[in-house]
Each structure stands twice: as structure tokens, then as C-alpha cells.
């Protein structure tokens, strides 16, 4: 009897303990979850930043500084929509018929047009070369900003251009221009498009070559009216000997950055950053 009672009591104790454990597990399952941490936006702030342009060569002596154009503010002027069309290719076809539509700096006549690979969602660059029949004259190249605005695609001015070369006067002179980057950002207070270009000229004379380099940033704000302006980012002049030795370098460079449609930051190489307002003229 006592043995059976002990067994029965032990079994009952085990059952009670098991029931208690089940209840404990149930209680743990019913505990309120820990409060959720507030969501945070881990995305970095939107920023446009230009490339820094180094001098064309490094001289043995110190580089002579030559200040860039002072910028009190960046003025963006209302632009005219040139060759409005449904696509960038259609804009290019229109410009090919008459390069003179770009303004008084261009003679009227046909041109070859090519859309460059550098592009953003709503901006392209068209490379235009005038068809010149005059012997001994090398046509310059124009790089045209093509953007999609509220009414479709259109050309909105020239980012940079090289001049025609008269081989009779300067037979060894060469020039080149290219687009370094096309970027854009929507800052909430405006959609901004950047086009950074680099132009280089080489003029060999008397066993030496004078090299000139300039980089320009075209800034456009896209809205009901497209506003554009330009700021110089680098200007270098160097002289190289026939052996390639860099004998003289002068100039300066700075970097641009933008985190708002209403201001632009400029940082000279080795200098302090300044912020300049963006001012809209007309339109």
C-alpha cells in the first residue's frame, strides 16, 4: 500500500510539475513582445560632386597659382527650348539640319550629330560637328545639353565647344573637348542636372608645347522653365619641352558640390569651402 501510494504520489507530482511547466511555457508565449525601435532612414543624403582636375603635368618647381573666376553667386538664366521633340534622337536630327539654331556663335549649315554615352535619366549630351567644305579648315566641336522637361526633350544650350582650326595659320595646333560626367538629383526644392566638361589645347612652337586645360560645370534646374548657368572648375597653363619635361605650370582648380537647389559649395584645392547662392534670372 505504501509503495503503491508512493508511486501514485510520485506520478501525481510529475504530472503537476509537467502541468506547471506547460503553464510556464504558455505564460512565456503570452508575454508582450519588446517595443519596436523607431524606423530610421539609413540612406545617405543626396549630393552632387564634381571631379577635381589636376594640372596637365608636374613641374620641378612650385606651381604658380592663378586664381579662378570669383563666384559671388551662380546665376541660372532661363533657356530657350531648341529643337523640341519626342526623343533625344529626334532633337539630334533637328540640330543636324542647321547648327545655326544654337545661336549667333554658330554659322548656319548642316552638321553631324551624335548622342554621347554619358547621360542621366533626363539629360543627354549631343556632340555636333559642322560640315565645312573649306579646305584647310578643321571644324570645331560643340557639346549641347539635351534635357527632358515638362514638354518633352529639347536642346538647352552649349556646355562647351572648340573653335575651328585654320591649318594655314596654326598647322600644329590641336584641341579636344569631352564630357566627364552627366549627373542629376532631385533635392525636393528642385531637380538639378550637372554636365562637367574638359577642354584641352596643345600648341607646339619652337620645340616646346603650350598646353591649356579648362574644366567647366554647367548647372541646370529643370521645371516649367529650364534655367542654366556655368561655373569654372579648373584652368591650367603649362609648357612642356620636346623631351616631355614640364617646365612651367600655372593655374588653379576647385571642386563643386551641391545638396540643395538653392546653393552651391566650391572648395579650392588646398583651400576652404565657400557656399554661394543659386539665383534664377527670368522665367
Q: Which residues pair with 65 in a beta bridge?
A: 251
Map grid coordinates 584641352 to a residue: 200
Q: Report residue 92: phi and psi, to 5°.
A: -60, -40
pLDDT for res 44: 62
In contact, 194 and 217? CB cutoff 8 Å = yes
Cell of 119: 547621360
Domain regions of the chain by residue span: 48-281
pLDDT for res 180: 97
Burial bucket for residue 249 (CB in 10 Å: 0-12, 13-18, 19+): buried
Lowest mean pLDDT across 77-91, 133-147, 260-274: 133-147
Map grid coordinates 558640390 to a residue: 257
pLDDT for res 34: 58
**Whole-structure pTM over 0.85, yes or no?**
no
Cell of 278: 543659386
| pLDDT per residue as tens digits for the range 215-264 | 999 999 998 899 999 999 999 999 998 887 888 899 999 999 999 999 99
Q: Determine how many CB atoms are found less than 10 A away from the CB of residue 231.
A: 20
| pLDDT per residue as tens digits for the range 2-11 | 444 433 444 3
| pLDDT per residue as tens digits for the range 170-212 | 888 999 999 999 999 999 878 999 999 999 999 998 789 999 9
What is the b/e burial string over 187-201, where b = at least 16 CB atoms within 10 angstroms of the residue's CB? Answer: beebbbbbbbbbbbb
Contacts of 228 (CB under 8 A, 6+ apart): 76, 77, 79, 145, 156, 157, 218, 219, 220, 221
Q: Which residues pair with 108 in a beta bridge?
A: none
pLDDT level of residue 18 (50, 70, 90 thresholds):
very low
pLDDT level of residue 36 (50, 70, 90 thresholds):
low
Q: Determine how many CB atoms are found less than 10 A away from the CB of residue 115.
A: 17
Amino acid at each position: 500500500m505504501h509503495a503503491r501510494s508512493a508511486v501514485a504520489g510520485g506520478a501525481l507530482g510529475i504530472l503537476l510539475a509537467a502541468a506547471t511547466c506547460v503553464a510556464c511555457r504558455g505564460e512565456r508565449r503570452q508575454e508582450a513582445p519588446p517595443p519596436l525601435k523607431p524606423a530610421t532612414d539609413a540612406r545617405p543624403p543626396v549630393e552632387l560632386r564634381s571631379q577635381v582636375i589636376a594640372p596637365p603635368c608636374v613641374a620641378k618647381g612650385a606651381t604658380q597659382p592663378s586664381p579662378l573666376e570669383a563666384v559671388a553667386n551662380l546665376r541660372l538664366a532661363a533657356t530657350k527650348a531648341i529643337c523640341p521633340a519626342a526623343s533625344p534622337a529626334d532633337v539630334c536630327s533637328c540640330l543636324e539640319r542647321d547648327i545655326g539654331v544654337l545661336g549667333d556663335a554658330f554659322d548656319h549649315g548642316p552638321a553631324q550629330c551624335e548622342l554621347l554615352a554619358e547621360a542621366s535619366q533626363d539629360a543627354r549630351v549631343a556632340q555636333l560637328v559642322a560640315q565645312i567644305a573649306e579646305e584647310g579648315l578643321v571644324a570645331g566641336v560643340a557639346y549641347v545639353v539635351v534635357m527632358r522637361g515638362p514638354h518633352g526633350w529639347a536642346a538647352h544650350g552649349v556646355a562647351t565647344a572648340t573653335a575651328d582650326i585654320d591649318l594655314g595659320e596654326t598647322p600644329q595646333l590641336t584641341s579636344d573637348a569631352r564630357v566627364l560626367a552627366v549627373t542629376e538629383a532631385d533635392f525636393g526644392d528642385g531637380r538639378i542636372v550637372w554636365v562637367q566638361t574638359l577642354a584641352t589645347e596643345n600648341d607646339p612652337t619652337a620645340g616646346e608645347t603650350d598646353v591649356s586645360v579648362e574644366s567647366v560645370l554647367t548647372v541646370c534646374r529643370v521645371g516649367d522653365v529650364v534655367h542654366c548657368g556655368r561655373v569654372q572648375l579648373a584652368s591650367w597653363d603649362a609648357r612642356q619641352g620636346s623631351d616631355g619635361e614640364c617646365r612651367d605650370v600655372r593655374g588653379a582648380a576647385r571642386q563643386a558640390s551641391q545638396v540643395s537647389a538653392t546653393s552651391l559649395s566650391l572648395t579650392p584645392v588646398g583651400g576652404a569651402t565657400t557656399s554661394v547662392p543659386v539665383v534664377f534670372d527670368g522665367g
